[in-house]
A and B are shown apart, each in its own frame.
Chain A
Amino acid sequence: MAAHRCGLSLVCILIFSSLAHPSSCDTLEKANDNTAEKRSISEVNTDGSVAGEALNERQWQSTDAEVDRSDSTTHSEALTPAAARDEFQEELVIRPLHSGDIYASFQFRTLWDTDFLQEGQKVSHYRLFPKSLGQVLSKFSVRELHISFTQGFWRTMQWGQPFIPSPPGAELWVWFHDTVSDVDGNWKELTNVLSGIFCASLNFIDLTNTVQPSASFKPLGLGNATDHRFLRYATLPREIVCTENLTPWKKLLPCGSKAGLAVLMKSEKLFHSSFHSQAVHIRPICQDEQCSSKAWELRQTLNVVFDLHTSGQGKKEWSLFKMFSRTLTEACPLASSSKVYVDITDNPEGELFELSPATPLLGQAVVLGDRRTYSVYDLSRAETFGQLRSFNLLLRWKGDSGDMLRPLLHAERYVAGFGLQTGEIHTVIYNNHPYRAFPVLLMDSVPWYLQLYIHTLTVTSKSRDNKPSYIHYQPAKDRHRPHLLEMLIQLPPHSMTEVTVQFERALLKWTEYTPDPNHDLTSIVPVKEESSYFVRVYTEPLLVNLPTPDFSMPYNVICLTCTVVAVGYGSFYNLLTRTFQVDEPSPPLSKRLANLIRRMRGVPLLT
């Protein structure tokens, strides 16, 4: 219990330090618009110590790292030159889920106190920061870059909210520096370069699936310029994530997969899971509290959910070895901090599951609006590994797995109707909070081949019309750009809000169909929900059947008609239209001369 209390006081410090930190305030800038009402409530709930500043998980982790840095800098300063300090932190958060599944979230954070984008300064010496990314950032004047590759779909109903949400397939969004003149050109080149770096088909991103959201995506890092002309957002829902994407991602780590937490990333285990998402986030942050100069932060995250049922054993038991078929033996030598956290919030007395080895260290944080307690294992200490020199965390369930959750906010999406001409897209957003209304910003990007009838757009909650307070709609241009719809909707407490819009399926040209046209074409919406603690929720992508011709039939028909035309009709036409004449011998020279003269005079010719 003493340890518990100690952890609690630690949190207070963390949060105050974060409050003093301009970069995190900056991040929450948008969220602050509507925190006012929430603040009083959260103060009541959490005895005021959290000061009502809700932080999301990653903020907390970053602030935690901030503190770590403050004590680690003392010796790291001695080692590295002061001109461009860089450091690397790694952590693994494990959260046992209600359903009996387990959620493991890796985060590798590289900080570098330098500025690529400064004029006249060429950065050529790289230590921890991957050179391939650094060069890309400076070449294309990228201010922020967020890229994620996801396999599977996050099941909010079973697993609750993820730390970092990501849509199925690939997602890329980039803020360019405001000195860039040709944003589209830079974007095109950048996607091609990134597709090479990550071995992904990001080169399929073009103008037809790129949008410029006006309100949904704000810079997460330093700088509050929000001119959305410099923002590009694209998703590729059909992208299939595989080992070939993981290997280049691992290569960006300073220790590779040789040491530290990254040794756990065996691809055959990571892909034997019900959810896998890997991401790279790059943003500029402040170097120090005065924010006199910029630093770059590279966060590589990997989230994976292991399924209890497919793991093959009847026992409800998880261990690092069972999840990753490896155990930990050392921290990455280059890392300034290397920790494993286990979420034990629902298990204060150990009645749900048992954790071994036990740890005296506890940490607390406010994650997505509720306070979580964590057991902390510090890999930089030798005693963590015990006698066997290997750390294998064991988690044994005692209780029964719970029913489905009722997350505060969740959303689903489907296509209604049947037939191949028209349809209706339904987006259903649930607010399960008993007395609070949430403002939600909904963003919907629909490919051009679904022609939206925007006059049929309806928003209903509790069977009443719900008028959005902000609508931004950019209609599609055939073969050039997709539809973009952004709306700010107020979700009444304990309600189900349904957004519907009708569409008509376009007839494509026969070369525009994908190689597997009878597999339907996809569209995706990120629904973004915004509240005091800023949650983003992605809905499932939709498969919409387009009217598809029978591609073998035209081929047969073309072959057949060509043959018939060429052989049959051609020869008939030839026979019917040709005039048969007896070839007369050519007229004598005198007659030809006479005709020549007659033609010049305009008199009828001799025959």
Chain B
Amino acid sequence: MGLLSDPNRRKALTGLLTRLNTPICGMPVEWLVKAMQSRGLEVFTQSFSRKLPFPDENKERYMVRGTNVYGILRAPRAPRTEALVITAPCSPGNTNNQAVALLLALAQYFRNQIYWAKDIIFLVNEHDLIGTQAWLEGYHHTNITGMEYSPLQGRAGSIQAALSLELSSDVITSLDLVLEGLNGQLPNLDLANLFYAFCQKLGVLCTIQGKLQRNDWDTAEGYTHAAQTMMLMVLKQACGRSWGDHGLFLRYHIEAASVRGINSFRHYKTDATTIGRLLEGMVRKLNNLLERLHQSYFFYLLPSLSRFVSIGYYMPAFGLLAVILLLRALDLWVHLGAPALAAVDGVTEPSSPGVLTVLTPVVISHLTGVALYLLPVHLQEMAVEHFPVSETEAVVLTAIAIYTAGLALPHNTQRLLSGEGTEQGWKVLKLTALLYLAVLLGCTALINFSLGFILAVTLVPITASITPHMPKALYAVVMVLLSPAFTILYCVFIYQELIEAPVSVSEGWMLFLSVISQGILDHALYGSLVYPLLALFIYPCWLMFWNILFWN
């Protein structure tokens, strides 16, 4: 591994770094094309444009127009069948310039080597995730999200793995590995192991969730530390967004991770050369793969980089929660069977409630869900006209308004059609709702365990125990406090607490609003499924239980 060991190359890299440190407006497309061409790559560009459904206030963008530049290093030993991707987002300002410089230095070094068996694509993407999304859709000739992009001119076969680089300074204290991808997908655990092995080898501090690993596993502090790291991972995975450029690759069955350089106040610093050697090692290992990464786990939780919790350990926890719902449903089923005997004794009760009794609340709840899903984005113009708010605020506030209105709307709706609610009526409704929730949570946990687990923890106890005969006011408060929206709010506070940046209530509220707008944006831009899941299924299901509480 001779990368940058000779003084000439190091000098060249330093030159690049200083060059890039000068402020540049936007992405220097032409310069990048020339730089890549002079390093002997086949260079192509892709332009894309995307109009966001409403302005993104966090990143201050609405009409996005950009260009991706990518250079392909053709492997001498293979016929363009497989490729590896190294990507560095190039954002306006100079927050990620060091990564682009390192990318170019790696390209130059890699180009002079003969051992490549897979083509290597060096991608510099503009507007971070939107650029990556445009490039991936162009590469695979799909269009999932209505992005406008120019077709790609050069390809390199099926992509086997991808690494995303984010460095904001030329020296770093530690490297952070980011694994959580879109919809909670994770790359193969071997990729994380590879990173960890090379960090150990080169003596680079490595973290996950920004937390260093502790050696004292048996002590209470060590245990708490690991538990906190894992909880952070659960929260990040549950929110279903892509936490780095790598997250979008996972949809295409490409193992990918982001490597993020962190520069804190520690004394021990690592320079770009070491990071280059680390990446060189990782890419060479991936280059030598004969098969896709498949030997190890795809479903795991990491309490630290060197330990993992496999699906076999965490799934039973969820299973125990879900079985409550099923047992409760079984109980109701038995109870519903019993009145047939009571009817013989002459109790005047209709033998079975009409279909309408159950169907009406189900349909109305779901219509509310559809409204929650569709209206915020579509009504933003009207809202902006009538209220003194920005588009983003309009969308978020409309969503909250519809959510709240839903609480008032559906209860007792069945009376409009079938008169007084009967004892059997709510039991049938609850049976339906319990089974529905069990199926929903089960499916969610299979795809995104963390999301399923968090929802199960908050929803299962109250939904399993709810009946119309409870003290209404008290239980109404409890139910609202355990509704999906409040779950999001708690998650925001817990997350801030875990990353050691606690917030006040008002700041938390603002964060909560931005989380909602991000969720809606992630759905529109990248096809994240958390928002539609919550709006179209979980919330209506919760409304059905709300309906039971206010039966008769």
Question: Which residues does A use to contact B, with CB under 8 Å?
Answer: 99, 150-153, 155, 157-158, 167-169, 237, 272-275, 307-310, 312, 403-404, 412, 414-418, 420, 424, 426, 516-520, 522, 540-545, 548, 550
Contacts and interface: CB of A to CB of B under 8 A. Distances in A.
Interface stretch (B290-298, B315-323, B493-501): B290-298
Interface in B150-172: 154-155, 157-158
20 contacts: A153-B74, A153-B80, A272-B114, A274-B76, A310-B112, A414-B157, A416-B140, A416-B141, A417-B140, A418-B252, A418-B253, A516-B290, A516-B291, A519-B290, A520-B158, A540-B79, A540-B81, A541-B80, A543-B158, A544-B158
A244 to B, nearest CB: 16
Contact of A151 (B37, B77, B290): B77
A548 B112 CA distance: 36
A415 B158 contact: yes
A417 B154 CA distance: 17
B140 A153 contact: no
Contacts of A541: 79-81
Nearest to A419: B253
Contacts of A519: 290-292
Nearest to A272: B114
Given A308-B40, A310-B113, A418 B80 contact: no
A420 B251 CA distance: 12
Closest CB pairs A-B (n = 8): A168-B79, A416-B141, A518-B291, A153-B79, A274-B76, A540-B80, A519-B291, A543-B158
B78 interface: yes
A18 B457 CA distance: 86
Contacts of A150: 79
Given A516-B291, A518-B292, A417 B142 contact: yes
Contacts of A237: 79
Contacts of B78: 152-153, 168
B148 interface: no
Given A414-B155, A520-B158, 15 more contacts: A151-B77, A152-B79, A153-B74, A168-B79, A310-B113, A414-B141, A420-B253, A424-B141, A426-B141, A516-B291, A517-B291, A519-B291, A519-B292, A540-B157, A541-B79
A432 B158 CA distance: 27
Interface string B249-276: 0011100000000000000000000000
Contacts of B157: 414, 540, 542-543
A312 B112 contact: yes
Contact of A310 (B81, B114, B140, B291): B114
A404 B114 contact: no
Contacts of B158: 415, 520, 542-545
B13 to A, nearest CB: 17
B76, B142, B253, B290 — most chain A CB neighbours (10 Å): B76
B415 interface: no
Contacts of A543: 81-82, 157-158
A426 B78 CA distance: 20
B142 A152 contact: no
A274 to B, nearest CB: 4
A232 to B, nearest CB: 23
Contacts of B251: 418
B42 interface: yes
Contacts of B40: 99, 308-309
Interface in B121-147: 140-142
B540 to A, nearest CB: 28
Nearest to A312: B112
Interface string B281-316: 000000000111010000000000000000000000
B10 interface: no
A157 B43 CA distance: 11
B497 to A, nearest CB: 38
B141 A155 contact: no
Interface of B: 37, 40, 42, 74-82, 111-114, 140-142, 154-155, 157-158, 251-253, 290-292, 294
A539 B294 CA distance: 29
A308 B111 CA distance: 10
A309 B40 CA distance: 7
Given A403-B37, A542-B157, A418 B142 contact: yes
Nearest to B111: A309
A332 to B, nearest CB: 30
A415 to B, nearest CB: 7
Nearest to A403: B37
B198 to A, nearest CB: 23
A273 B141 contact: no
Given A151-B77, A153-B74, A309 B140 contact: no
B42 A158 contact: yes
A540 B253 CA distance: 21
A47 to B, nearest CB: 37
A152 B77 contact: yes
B76 A310 contact: yes
A545 B291 CA distance: 11
Contacts of A312: 112
B81 A522 contact: yes
A459 to B, nearest CB: 16
Given A404-B42, A416-B141, A520-B158, A542 B294 contact: no
Contacts of A272: 114
Contacts of B81: 522, 540-543
Given A418-B140, A518-B294, A169 B79 contact: yes
A545 B82 CA distance: 11
B253 A545 contact: yes
Contacts of B140: 416-418
A99 B37 CA distance: 10
B76 A152 contact: yes
Contacts of B142: 416-418
Contacts of A418: 140, 142, 251-253
A309 B112 contact: yes
Contacts of A309: 40, 111-112
B399 to A, nearest CB: 30
A162 to B, nearest CB: 14
Contacts of A522: 81
Contacts of A157: 42, 154
A413 to B, nearest CB: 9
Contacts of A158: 42
A585 B253 CA distance: 72
A89 B141 CA distance: 49
A522 B141 CA distance: 20
A270 B192 CA distance: 38
Contacts of B79: 150, 152-153, 167-169, 237, 540-541
B81, B252, B290 — most chain A CB neighbours (10 Å): B81
Contact of A550 (B111, B292, B294): B294
Contacts of A307: 76, 114
B517 to A, nearest CB: 28
A519 B75 CA distance: 17
A388 B75 CA distance: 39
A417 B141 contact: yes
Contacts of B114: 272, 307, 310
A96 to B, nearest CB: 16
Nearest to A241: B77
Contacts of A540: 79-81, 157
A68 to B, nearest CB: 35
Nearest to A517: B291
A185 B158 CA distance: 37
A540 B79 CA distance: 6
A150, A151, A519, A522 — most chain B CB neighbours (10 Å): A519
Contacts of B155: 412, 414
Contacts of A542: 81, 157-158
A547 to B, nearest CB: 11
Nearest to A237: B79
A542 B253 CA distance: 16
Contacts of B42: 155, 157-158, 404
B505 to A, nearest CB: 43
